[in-house]
């Protein structure tokens, strides 16, 4: 037997003690977390500002649980803003009250108030994440959710030596709420961010080189919160994932040992930018996206859109020593301004001198459409016996939604007009009470269920030039009603109104299969013949290609009100959003549960 440190032995003994004390009962447990939403002065890019955080951390704490566990998160709002938190990608079967988007499934948690999110993890395993779902607070209010497989169930790939969470984000030197408020007033696009971050740090950004001083702060990647089971879950997770990271102020460092394989759980928490992720000299093997296993495939570049998560295996096969650059850069293949600053981190082989050279890599060009398309085309569901792809084959509802920008009159705006966005020419208007409450209590006057299932007028959606007559949108709080368990095919069609752009569309409450994608206008006669109905990728957020379309399918087996929106925050703000209302079924477990007693009121 290998020599183990005394503290490891102590932990092992404690683990055994717990197994004796809590036999089998640990099969599915209740995990308690407390999220204090607090301001925290934070310095990046040589300047300091107060940011909204959970528990003073940026990125916020990681939630760790197993499939079948129930998670209770008590959110306490200590800031001046209204707050709500979304558990991005969690199915929330019958528990829409815990989904989180403000004014969709709940009223906001007002300053001084508390709300307990209560949900069970069913049929999902992998990486998801949580983020604020109100205003632009998710810029700094976000963190990882790790769903481990059920106890004793292995990953469908070789067990990695260690795991690490890699949260990608954007940083503005200005107050983020001031950035979007300024844009809403002018009717123009908001300022792009000043840098991207990897686990909170931009790395070597030339505009700020005074941060070379190295601070080494060991930080555990997961924070297990005070609970009666703290120690058991610590051990439970600790053995598989205990992993210390070192934050250098000059950037984030990922320590590896030559010959070992690591799993990176990558999350794009950026507000407005799709990102490329690359590590110099190393191939990555994609094994899971959005908490669904994929057929493993090797790539040197990962494309990840806001809202998406991607697990990759990284084999440290370049040793025995060396330092390799990790680069995160934007993907934008439309004439739209983005933050073009590359964030950097370092892959550091153990035994390498800190001051040695780092092997560099060039990020793909910003407009590298082929790199992006190649990545998207490589994704396939694992579709194994244990993890089948249950693609709906018979379709009850076939929908076509155009997604894109528009321009509406605005007398107080800079140009007398404002940029808006919409779906099927509807710019969604947020209600002042929650849609789920209005649905559950049958309150009239909050929404209508006449969202158009097809574009109200047909035109060449992807024409090089759009006539000005296509610019204006209609406004309203319109929902699309689905009966329980109906199967839906939804074609998301980008438009070239103002400009074609790649939109990462996120559906709450469901996973869907992307059965097809293409450029130009969707052809309902020809394109379905090429659909992949065997092993299409299953996920919760899909990047619709710029000037193209993506066809998704899902089964409406989750009663409630489910938001669907572009996960570029600027487009959501401009109105690229709608919701599905899914009626109750007839069976005993086919209806929405009643609201919890502490549900915030408006």
Ligand X SMILES: *[C@@H]1O[C@H](CO)[C@@H](O)[C@H](O)[C@H]1NC(C)=O
Sign of dihedral through CA atoms 61, 66, 67, 70? Answer: negative
Sign of dihedral through CA atoms 438, 401, 377, 202? Answer: negative
Minimum distance between the CB of residue 197 and ligand X, rounded to whole angstroms?
Answer: 18
Minimum distance between the CB of residue 208 and ligand X, rounded to whole angstroms?
Answer: 17
Binding track over 35-74 against ligand X, x by CB under 6 A: ----xxx--------x---------------------x--
| DSSP conformation class of 232 | H
Binding track over 564-593 against ligand X, x by CB under 6 A: -----------------------------x
User: Rounded to an integer, what distance in angstroms lies between the CA atom of residue 276 and that of residue 3?
Assistant: 41
Minimum distance between the CB of residue 572 and ligand X, rounded to whole angstroms?
Answer: 17
Minimum distance between the CB of residue 556 and ligand X, rounded to whole angstroms?
Answer: 20
Check residue 187 for interaction with ligand X (CB under 6 A): no
- Which of Cu ion, ligand X, none lies near 388, with the C-beta cut-off 5 to 8 A by kind? none
Closest CA to 423 of 521, 358, 490, 337: 490
- Alpha carbon 574 to chain centroid, angstroms: 19
Binding track over 83-102 against Cu ion, x by CB under 5 A: -----x--------------
Binding track over 74-113 against ligand X, x by CB under 6 A: --------x------------------------xx-x---
CB atoms within 10 A of CB 330: 23
DSSP 326-374: EEEEEE--SS-----PPEEEEEEETT--TTS-EE--PPPPTT-HHHHHH
Tokens of 377: 């085309």
- Which of ligand X, Cu ion, none lies near 571, with the C-beta cut-off 5 to 8 A by kind? none
| DSSP conformation class of 97 | G
Minimum distance between the CB of residue 307 and Cu ion, rounded to whole angstroms?
Answer: 5
- Which of ligand X, Cu ion, none lies near 326, with the C-beta cut-off 5 to 8 A by kind? none
Q: Any idea which residue has 């379905």 for tokens?
A: 528
Window 416-435: residues binding ligand X (CB under 6 A): none
Query: Closest CB to ligand X among 440 and 451?
Result: 440
Q: How many residues does the chain have?
A: 602
Determine contact, residues 468/439, Cβ cutoff 8 Å.
Answer: no
Determine contact, residues 407/417, Cβ cutoff 8 Å.
Answer: yes
Check residue 182 for interaction with ligand X (CB under 6 A): yes
User: Rounded to an integer, what distance in angstroms lies between the CA atom of residue 443 and that of residue 570?
Assistant: 30
- 104, 132, 165, 179: which one contacts ligand X (CB under 6 A)? 179
Query: Closest CB to ligand X among 62 and 82?
Result: 82
Closest CA to 478 of 432, 433, 438, 427: 427
User: Rounded to an integer, what distance in angstroms lies between the CA atom of residue 195 and that of residue 308?
Assistant: 20
Minimum distance between the CB of residue 597 and ligand X, rounded to whole angstroms?
Answer: 8
Check residue 138 for interaction with Cu ion (CB under 5 A): no
- Which of Cu ion, ligand X, none lies near 31, with the C-beta cut-off 5 to 8 A by kind? none
Sign of dihedral through CA atoms 471, 472, 478, 481? Answer: negative
Window 227-266: residues binding ligand X (CB under 6 A): 227-228
Window 321-380: residues binding ligand X (CB under 6 A): none
Determine contact, residues 271/570, Cβ cutoff 8 Å.
Answer: yes
Nearest residue to ligand X on Cβ basis: 174
Window 478-517: residues binding Cu ion (CB under 5 A): 506
Stretch that binds ligand X, among 4-12, 149-157, 177-185, 294-302 (CB under 6 A): 177-185
Stretch that binds ligand X, among 171-179, 204-212, 550-558, 566-574 (CB under 6 A): 171-179
Query: Closest CB to ligand X among 4 and 189?
Result: 189
User: Rounded to an integer, what distance in angstroms lies between the CA atom of residue 601 and that of residue 101?
Assistant: 14
Binding region for Cu ion (CB under 5 A): 88, 506
């Amino acid at each position: 037997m290998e020599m183990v440190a005394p503290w490891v032995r102590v932990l092992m003994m404690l683990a055994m003690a717990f197994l004796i004390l809590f036999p089998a009962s640990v099969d599915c447990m209740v995990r308690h977390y407390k999220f204090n939403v607090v301001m925290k002065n934070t310095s990046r890019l040589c300047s300091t500002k107060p940011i909204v955080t959970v528990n003073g951390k940026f990125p916020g704490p990681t939630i760790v649980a197993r499939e079948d566990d129930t998670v209770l998160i008590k959110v306490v709002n200590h800031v001046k803003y209204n707050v709500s938190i979304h558990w991005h990608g969690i199915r929330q079967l019958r528990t829409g009250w815990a989904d989180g988007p403000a004014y969709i499934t709940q009223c906001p948690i007002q300053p001084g108030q508390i709300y307990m999110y209560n949900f069970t993890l069913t049929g999902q395993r992998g990486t998801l994440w949580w983020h604020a779902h109100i205003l632009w607070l998710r810029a700094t209010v976000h963190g990882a959710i790790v769903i481990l497989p059920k106890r004793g169930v292995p990953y469908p790939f070789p067990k990695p030596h260690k795991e690490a969470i890699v949260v990608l984000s954007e940083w503005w030197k200005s107050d983020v709420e001031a950035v979007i408020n300024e844009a809403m007033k002018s009717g123009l696009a908001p300022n792009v961010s000043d840098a991207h971050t990897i686990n909170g740090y931009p790395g070597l950004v030339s505009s700020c080189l005074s941060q070379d001083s190295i601070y080494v702060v060991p930080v555990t990647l997961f924070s297990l919160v005070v609970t009666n089971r703290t120690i058991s879950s610590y051990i439970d997770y600790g053995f598989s994932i205990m992993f210390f990271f070192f934050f250098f102020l000059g950037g984030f460092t990922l320590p590896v040992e030559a010959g070992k394989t690591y799993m990176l759980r990558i999350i794009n928490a950026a507000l407005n930018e799709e990102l490329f992720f690359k590590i110099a000299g190393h191939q990555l093997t994609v094994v899971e996206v959005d908490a669904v296993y994929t057929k493993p495939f090797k790539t040197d570049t990962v494309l990840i859109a806001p809202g998406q998560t991607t697990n990759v295996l990284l084999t440290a096969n370049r040793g025995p020593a060396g330092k390799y650059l990790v680069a995160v850069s934007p993907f934008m293949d439309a004439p739209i301004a983005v933050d073009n600053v590359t964030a950097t981190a370092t892959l550091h082989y153990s035994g390498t001198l800190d001051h040695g050279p780092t092997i560099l890599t060039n990020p793909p060009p910003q407009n590298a459409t082929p790199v992006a398309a190649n990545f998207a085309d490589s994704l396939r569901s694992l579709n194994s016996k244990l993890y089948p792809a249950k693609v709906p084959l018979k379709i009850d509802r076939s929908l076509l939604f155009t997604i894109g920008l528009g321009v509406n009159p605005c007398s107080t705006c800079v140009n007398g007009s404002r940029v808006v966005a919409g779906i099927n020419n509807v710019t969604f208007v947020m209600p002042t009470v929650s849609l789920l409450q209005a649905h559950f209590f049958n309150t009239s006057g909050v929404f209508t269920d006449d969202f158009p299932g097809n574009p109200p007028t047909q035109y060449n959606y992807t024409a090089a030039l759009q006539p000005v007559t296509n610019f204006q949108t209609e406004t309203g709080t319109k929902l699309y009603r689905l009966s329980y368990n109906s199967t839906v095919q939804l074609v998301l069609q980008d438009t070239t109104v103002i400009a074609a752009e790649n939109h990462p569309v996120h559906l709450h409450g469901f996973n869907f299969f992307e059965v097809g994608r293409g450029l130009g206008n969707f052809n309902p006669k020809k394109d379905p013949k090429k659909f992949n109905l065997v092993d299409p990728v299953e996920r919760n957020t899909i990047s619709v290609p710029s000037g193209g379309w993506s066809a998704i399918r899902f089964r409406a087996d989750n009663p409630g009100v489910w938001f669907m929106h572009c996960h570029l925050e600027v487009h959501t703000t401009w109105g690229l959003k709608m919701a599905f209302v899914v009626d109750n079924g007839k069976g005993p477990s086919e209806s929405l549960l009643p609201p919890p007693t502490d549900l915030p009121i408006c």
